[in-house]
Chain A
Amino acid sequence: MTSYVALPGIAGTRPAAYVVTERSDARAAASAGSAADEGIERLYLEHWDRLVRLSVLLVREQGAAEEIVQDSFVAVHQRWDRLNDPERALAYLRQAIVNRSRSALRHRAVVQRYLNRQALPDPAPGSDEPVLGDARRGLVLDALRQLPRRQREVLALRYYMDMSEAQIAETLGISKGAVKSHASRGAAALRPILDQLGPDVRGG
Chain B
Amino acid sequence: MADDTDHTGDDQALRRLLEEAVADVHPPDRLIEIRRRTRRPARPQRRWLPVVVGAGAATAAVVAGAVLVGQLGRSGDDGPPVAEAPQDRAAAVYFVGEVPGGTRLYREFQSVPAASGTEAVTEALARLESDAGPDDPDYRTAWPAGSFGAVSVTDHEVVVSLNQPATRRPAGIAPAAARLGVQQVVYTADAALGRALPVSFEYAGTAARRVLGTSVPGPVDRAAQDRTVAPVNISDPSEGSSVDADFLVARGTMTDGVKKVDVLVQNLDDPGSSSAISVTVPGKAIQDGTLAVRGMLEWEAQIDVQGLGAGRYQLVVRAVRANPMAPVPMDSRTFLVH
- From B41, B77, B131, B328, contact of A99 by CB (8 A): B131
Interface string of A67-96 (1 = CB under 8 A from B): 001110111011100000000000000000
In this assembly, does B314 line the interface, its C-beta being within 8 Å of a C-beta of chain A?
yes
Q: Is the CB of A173 within 8 A of B144?
A: yes
* B275 and chain A: residue at smallest CB distance: A16
Q: Is the CB of B131 within 8 A of A102?
A: yes
- With contacts A7-B249, A23-B45, A56-B22 known, is A190 near B144, CB below 8 A? no
Interface string of B78-107 (1 = CB under 8 A from A): 001100000100000000000000000000
* B314 and chain A: residue at smallest CB distance: A25
Q: Is the CB of B25 within 8 A of A12?
A: no
- With contacts A2-B68, A48-B27, A201-B17 known, is A158 near B22, CB below 8 A? no
In this assembly, does B132 line the interface, its C-beta being within 8 Å of a C-beta of chain A?
yes
Q: Which residues of B contact A100 (CB under 8 A)?
A: 131
In this assembly, does B243 line the interface, its C-beta being within 8 Å of a C-beta of chain A?
yes
Interface string of B138-173 (1 = CB under 8 A from A): 100000111000000000000000001100001100
- From A25, A30, A44, A201, contact of B20 by CB (8 A): A201
Docked pose: A191 CA to B246 CA in angstroms? 61
- From B33, B47, B145, contact of A102 by CB (8 A): B145
- With contacts A10-B54, A23-B45, A158-B5 known, is A194 near B276, CB below 8 A? no
Q: Is the CB of A197 within 8 A of B56?
A: no
Q: Is the CB of B70 within 8 A of A156?
A: no
In this assembly, does B270 line the interface, its C-beta being within 8 Å of a C-beta of chain A?
no
Q: Which of A148-204 contact B (CB under 8 A)?
A: 155-156, 158-160, 162-166, 170, 172-174, 178, 187, 190-191, 193-194, 197, 201-202
Docked pose: A28 CA to B170 CA in angstroms? 28
Docked pose: A100 CA to B76 CA in angstroms? 15
Q: Which residues of B contact A37 (CB under 8 A)?
A: 35, 38
- From A10, A20, A65, A170, contact of B48 by CB (8 A): A20
Q: Which residues of A contact B242 (CB under 8 A)?
A: 1-2
Docked pose: A77 CA to B76 CA in angstroms? 10
Docked pose: A2 CA to B32 CA in angstroms? 27
Q: Which residues of A contact B314 (CB under 8 A)?
A: 25
Which of B22, B76, B245, B318 neighbours the largest number of chain A CB atoms within 10 Å of its CB? Answer: B22
Interface string of A122-162 (1 = CB under 8 A from B): 00000000000110110011001000000000011011101
Q: Is the CB of B165 within 8 A of A20?
A: no
Total number of residue pairs linking A and B with CB closer than 8 Å: 240
Which of B34, B50, B58, B132 neighbours the largest number of chain A CB atoms within 10 Å of its CB? Answer: B34
* B132 and chain A: residue at smallest CB distance: A103
Q: Which residues of A contact B330 (CB under 8 A)?
A: 24-26
- With contacts A19-B274, A21-B46, A66-B30 known, is A99 near B145, CB below 8 A? yes
Q: Is the CB of A173 within 8 A of B146?
A: yes
Q: Is the CB of B34 within 8 A of A9?
A: no
Q: Is the CB of A17 within 8 A of B30?
A: no
In this assembly, does B253 line the interface, its C-beta being within 8 Å of a C-beta of chain A?
no
Interface string of B6-25 (1 = CB under 8 A from A): 00011101111111111111
Give the interface of A toward B (CB within 8 A): 1-5, 7, 9-28, 30, 33, 36-37, 40-41, 44, 48-49, 52-53, 56-57, 62, 65-66, 69-71, 73-75, 77-79, 98-100, 102-103, 106, 110, 114, 133-134, 136-137, 140-141, 144, 155-156, 158-160, 162-166, 170, 172-174, 178, 187, 190-191, 193-194, 197, 201-202
Give the interface of B toward A (CB within 8 A): 1-5, 9-11, 13-28, 30-31, 33-35, 37-38, 40-48, 50-58, 68, 70-71, 76-77, 80-81, 87, 113, 123, 126, 130-132, 137-138, 144-146, 164-165, 170-171, 241-249, 264, 266, 274-279, 300, 302, 314, 316, 318, 328, 330, 332, 338
Which 6 residue pairs are nearest across A and B when measured between Cβ atoms?
A: A99-B131, A4-B245, A11-B56, A53-B22, A140-B21, A10-B54
**CB<8 Å pairs between A and B, sample of 30:** A1-B70, A2-B68, A2-B70, A10-B55, A16-B276, A19-B48, A19-B274, A20-B48, A20-B264, A20-B274, A24-B328, A24-B330, A25-B316, A30-B44, A52-B27, A53-B22, A53-B27, A69-B27, A70-B30, A78-B137, A99-B145, A102-B145, A133-B24, A137-B22, A137-B24, A159-B14, A159-B15, A173-B144, A190-B17, A202-B13
